Structure 1
Amino acid sequence: MSLLHGEHGEHGEHGEHGEGASGRSANDGLMAAALMRSRDAIVGTETIAPQAGQEATLEPAERLRRMDPEFRRAVLLSELLEDIAFQVEDYSPKRATARAVTVLRRKAGGGAIKHLPLARIARPEVADLGHAAPLVAAYAELRADRLAEILVQRAFLIPFVASILPLTPARAPAVIEMLETGLDIVTPVVMRVKIALGCPRPSQFSPLIQPMIAEPGHPALPSGHATQLFTVATMLAQLMDPGAAVISDSQLYRLACRIAINRTVAGVHFPADSAAGAVLGIQLGRYLMARGQGGTVGSAGFDGTAFRDADQPRDFHYGILDQMVKGGDPAAEFPADGSAVRPAPLWQSLCRRAEQEWQTRWS
């Protein structure tokens, strides 16, 4: 599991009911010995006469439901990632890091495989990040107040969403599984962007930052936590109202902003990291739900070199998010260029069950 979100299969607190993964008991050896002895007692030396078999009758979506959760997740991730590609833009003259990375998604329709931009993320200049280091240091004043949140959010994210919406394991298992899959797909996407852009962490600019938690061993921008929470917030917003716009001051997006800001409070991320994660997360959430519900998705962009106010570093909060999604921020763009995406049949089957759970949540 990615350290970005910990063992998020436990987020809904619907683990294996006291047992290990896939229903394994606490003592596999004892169980195996008991089953062997039981078989010897009731089978004896009888010769086996195999029963006549038959062809499978279940469609792939129904077969998927019979798989163990971790293998079901692997199938869904494979289906969803097969349409995603990456385009790297180098500096001129070339540097060790890329100037920008565009996450691409496959164009709908037959014929030759073509890709369209989903989200372009351009890195800030190192000097811009350096100017923002004092802002990160100032956030340290909030560490004691947010200690519990920051520590818990290293491993668990969905419970914070479930405190806003009625998402319990007994009543919304498909919704929770849908969100967990969304969290999982963020990891390979965001890591490809991070490794290409190679942006430093705040502590690299000053020994006075002193992060309150262990600093992740990968580049900073975009923030993985921000990308995950904005992905989840967008998925839920689309589940409730397909095609809905981002409502920056809604509880879901306020939560996403708060968790992103908590990573700055902890001293491991710049506000620009969160802003980039917000753009990428919104786009991934829209992409995932378009593949599961139908509909369209457009492109978006984040330009780290424009994420500043004149010569001053810019902060990130839901007021800034509101400017970004409404076209009032030079660092972000969400053009009206939506087009259809290819359906993902297995993912669609999970999204349909999630939609049914949401529609019957009052029952």
Structure 2
Amino acid sequence: MGSGSAMMAAALMRTRDAIVGAETIVPDAGVASSLDAAHRLKRLDGDHRAAVMAGELLEDLTFTAEEFTPAEATARTMTVLRRTAAGGPLSASYVPLAAITRPGLGDFSAATPLVAAYAELRADRAAEIQVQTQHLVPFFASILPIEASRAPAILEAMSLALDMATFVVMRIKLGLGCPRPGQFSDRIQPMIACPSHATLPSGHSTQAFTLATLLTLMNDPSTGVAADSQLYRLACRIAINRTVAGVHFPADSAAGAVLGIQLGRYLIARASLSAPAQVGSGSFDGAAFTDGTTPRDFHYAILNGMVAGTDSSTSFAAATDDVRPAPLWGSLIARAAEEWGQRWS
């Protein structure tokens, strides 16, 4: 019998009537709170904490759309802008965090046979693909010692990072309006239900690379993207599995990787409370994600070239402006870092 059941409510009512009766209530005077906002945040239910921190993180992000010339119904480029620490509430300034440019219809059409070729891996990866439609965290927790009883703050931070990635990638998907592989050929026949929203960037890729970057930088803020690390290999595999399933192009995964890396960097930078932190910008041009006239695949060797600056589709620029601290989110990351530091205990 749960606390919300009718029998529980009736029992509580009867008990109060029995022990309170008709006495006149003399209320306490009350004591002023001794907890700051970060400590009060810890006392909220998990979904309410997430709502507060998501609001804090999202309030510094905005989006712009660059249109096609001549104009088309969708945007050509969607840019995520982040607020800088300069200026006050009425004079906010913004700089690019991530810019995603969509491929053309011809690029998607040319890449469709590559998606079809991945179908031969479906039987081998079916379990992963099915589970990953709902769950990503357990795959990262199998690499790092992240257990619910010992790392609740780390898991909470990962959950919020997944939500943040969804908020951002869905806005970009809507603006770019890119079609799915199955729309180019009735022989793709995805092995899972194809999402109704646009294909690029891949949401799973964005989420996976956000988590990989968040966890990498939480362990060592000075670490760069190591494409062959276990975390980034996992992010690549999660992204590629969506192509195997028949619902994404390789370019979708590459765009999600750039966006996810930038979001992970942004989240860690905003958690810095002791000193101003910076995060640079990243860009991905889907029309340049080719090998000449041949559609390009996506895997961690390709990712390595993207982050190393040797891939014409991708660029990462150095930071030039401080981010604004997010104290409530920062308090969660501080607890997560403490848990990570105690993992040998």
- Fold shared, TM-score > 0.5 on shorter chain: yes
Equivalence for 1:306 = 288
Determine if contact 1:243/1:295 at 8 Å carries over to the other structure: no
**Structure 1 residue 160 corresponds to structure 2 residue 152:** no
Shift of residue 42 of structure 1? 1.4
Equivalence for 2:324 = 342
Amino acid across the alignment from 1:318 = Y
What is the rounded CA distance, in whole Å, between the counterparts of 2:209 and 2:109 in structure 1? 26
What is the rounded CA distance, in whole Å, between the counterparts of 2:6 and 2:232 in structure 1? 48
Equivalence for 1:67 = 44
Q: How many residues align?
A: 340
Which of the numbers 36, 39, 46 marks the counterpart of 2:16?
Answer: 39
The gaps in structure 2 that reach 5 residues or longer are none
1:129-162 Cα offsets, whole Å, 9 max, x none, are: 0000000001000111111101100111100000
Amino acid across the alignment from 2:335 = R
**Compared with structure 1, are the counterparts of its residues 274 and 26 closer, same or farther at alpha carbon in structure 2 (3 Å cutoff)?**
farther
Shift of residue 40 of structure 1? 1.5
**Could you tell which deviates more after superposition, 353-362 or 36-45?**
36-45
Cα RMSD (Å) = 1.1
Q: TM-score, normalised by structure 2?
A: 0.97
- Match of 2:40, SS state, is helix
What is the rounded CA distance, in whole Å, between the counterparts of 1:25 and 1:130 in structure 2? 54
Amino acid across the alignment from 2:241 = N
Amino acid across the alignment from 2:342 = T
Equivalence for 1:235 = 214
Which of the numbers 79, 85, 88 marks the counterpart of 1:102?
Answer: 79
Equivalence for 2:25 = 48
**Could you tell which deviates more after superposition, 42-51 or 171-180?**
42-51
**Structure 1 residue 282 corresponds to structure 2 residue 261:** yes
Q: Percent identity of the aligned residues?
A: 61
Amino acid across the alignment from 2:23 = E
Alignment of 1:168-179 (within 5 A): 168-179=147-158
Amino acid across the alignment from 1:216 = P
What is the rounded CA distance, in whole Å, between the counterparts of 1:118 and 1:243 in structure 2? 19
What is the rounded CA distance, in whole Å, between the counterparts of 1:238 and 1:42 in structure 2? 56
Alignment of 1:201-216 (within 5 A): 201-216=180-195
Q: TM-score, normalised by structure 1?
A: 0.92
Determine if contact 1:100/1:120 at 8 Å carries over to the other structure: yes
Shift of residue 338 of structure 1? 4.2
Shift of residue 295 of structure 1? 2.3
What is the rounded CA distance, in whole Å, between the counterparts of 2:176 and 2:336 in structure 1? 35
Amino acid across the alignment from 1:163 = S
The gaps in structure 1 that reach 5 residues or longer are 1-23
Shift of residue 303 of structure 1? 0.2
Shift of residue 26 of structure 1? 7.4
1:104-124 Cα offsets, whole Å, 9 max, x none, are: 000112341110000000000
**Could you tell which deviates more after superposition, 332-341 or 95-104?**
332-341
Amino acid across the alignment from 1:86 = F
